[in-house]
Structure 1
Amino acid sequence: MPADTEFGNPAPLGLVGFGLTTVLLSLVNAGIFGSSLEMAVIPMAIAYGGTIQLFAGLLEYRNGNTFGTVAFTSYGAFWWWFALLVLFESNGLIDTVSPGALGIALIMWGIFTAYMWIGTFKLNWALWSVFLLLAVTFFLLGFGNLLGIDALVTAGGWVGIVTGLDAMYVSFAEVTNWCFDREVVPLGGVPYGGPTTEPQTGTAD
């Protein structure tokens, strides 16, 4: 294994926490599974998608990785927001959120993801694809809810499945490459070209 192991890379942990949870919820949005799976996603969103990503983001801060800090802590907070929204609604602590209001919130997350995607042009193609797919997912879900078009929500579910699997692939690649101390699973070069501004294997959603 690599000799330089003073600090571990938290990105693979944050990526798999995000990716696995995203796949599960996207299976519901795509209409493959019903609301019973969504109830199973809630504790997963809190424990894995939410808390693990917040933890990874704090570790990225320690590593001096601005991109990783912003990405992991933000999407970790997103999963906490989603879980609390469902729990608060189901227990009558807040009024039911209208599809239009939910759509606006998801569109704002799409805008955030789009500007984070710009940063991936200096990272690698794998992360570039994750953030692009995630932005598309948010916009499809957002406009689908806002406009009341179920087909867009379903499409967002299918793109979300691909997004989550893509994030899990990047996690797999980074863990495997660390274990072998060389690139065994490709992540792709830098899309924009030139030297990277952050370590290629230390950042992601």
Structure 2
Amino acid sequence: MAEAKELKARSQVTSISEMKAVSVNAKIVMSDATALGIFGLAMVTLVASSQKLGWTEGTAYIIPWAIILGSLAQIWASLVDFKNNNYFGAIALGVYGLFWSGVAFHWAIGLGWFGDLGPVSDPRQLAFAFLGYLIFSLFITVAAMEVNKVLFAILLLIDVLFISLALATFDINHDLFAKIGAYSEFAIALLGFYACGAIFLNGFFGRTILSLGKPLGIIKKG
């Protein structure tokens, strides 16, 4: 009788220990948010390019899309990618999400939301911001070669966009580079919609519905 009680007590202790082990090893699993981030990029570039191409006028109604889709959606996707240890997505989406926050504030300043700045404002400072983003985008472009071809194409267009925006803002052949920037931004939107749709469908069905293209295989990972 005493032995039976001892065995029962041991089994209860073992069960409690196993439950503790399970609770310690448990972790929150979050879905891939890359499609959300790229959708944010596609939406904001579509709306912004409509103004650059002359299809719409002004920037006041672009600002909400820049903040909510261009910035917050990409930053949220970046945080999820950090959680999921998706190094490329975490850095790339975070960097470009912050970019659109800066652009939104720039437009708001230009519209006088923070008062009249007068002679103290110099738009060439924005050109240097474009150059800084171009430099880092070149590094991201190299990494994108080994992700997939669609993402690599988007990054190449982003590089062209930053070069064009910087030169146009420096007033170097403004009309030409402004037009190049506008069309490259519109192309980013189109490819972005395809990419986010492909990522969503492929993830939902668990197989390739829309191809994103294989990595170029030029640079091998360690």
TM-score (norm 1): 0.85
Q: Which residue of 1 aligns with 2:50?
A: 27
| Counterpart amino acid of residue 213 in structure 2 | G
How many angstroms does 1:101 deviate by?
Answer: 2.3
Conserved in 1, the CA contact under 8 Å of 2:60 and 2:108? Answer: no
Please tell me whether residue 190 in structure 1 is matched to residue 215 in structure 2: yes
Pairs aligned (count)? 190
| Correspondence 1:78-93 to 2 at 5 A | 78-89=99-110, 90-93=112-115
- CA offset digits 1:17-48 (Å, max 9, x no partner): 0111011101211222211xx21110111111
How many angstroms does 1:93 deviate by?
Answer: 4.7
- CA offset digits 1:42-99 (Å, max 9, x no partner): 0111111111111110000001112111111111111111111222342245736433
Instruction: Go from structure 1 to structure 2 and tell me whether the alpha carbon gap of 1:9 and 1:95 turns closer, same or farther (over 3 Å shift).
Output: same
Conserved in 2, the CA contact under 8 Å of 1:110 and 1:138? Answer: yes
Between the aligned partners of 1:45 and 1:92, the Cα distance in structure 2 is 18
Residue aligned with 2:170, SS:
helix
Provide structure 2 residue ranges, at least 5 long, that are not aligned to the other structure: 1-28
- CA offset digits 1:83-130 (Å, max 9, x no partner): 112223422457364332222221221222111101112111011101
Between the aligned partners of 1:93 and 1:82, the Cα distance in structure 2 is 17
Between the aligned partners of 2:202 and 2:116, the Cα distance in structure 1 is 46
Pick 1 or 2: higher relative contact order, CA cutoff 8 A, min separation 6. Answer: 1
How many angstroms does 1:144 deviate by?
Answer: 1.2
Provide structure 1 residue ranges, at least 5 long, that are not aligned to the other structure: 1-5, 198-205
Q: Which residue of 1 aligns with 2:131?
A: 107
| Root-mean-square deviation over aligned CA pairs | 1.9
| Correspondence 1:171-186 to 2 at 5 A | 171-186=196-211
Query: Over alpha carbons, which structure has the higher Rg?
Result: 2
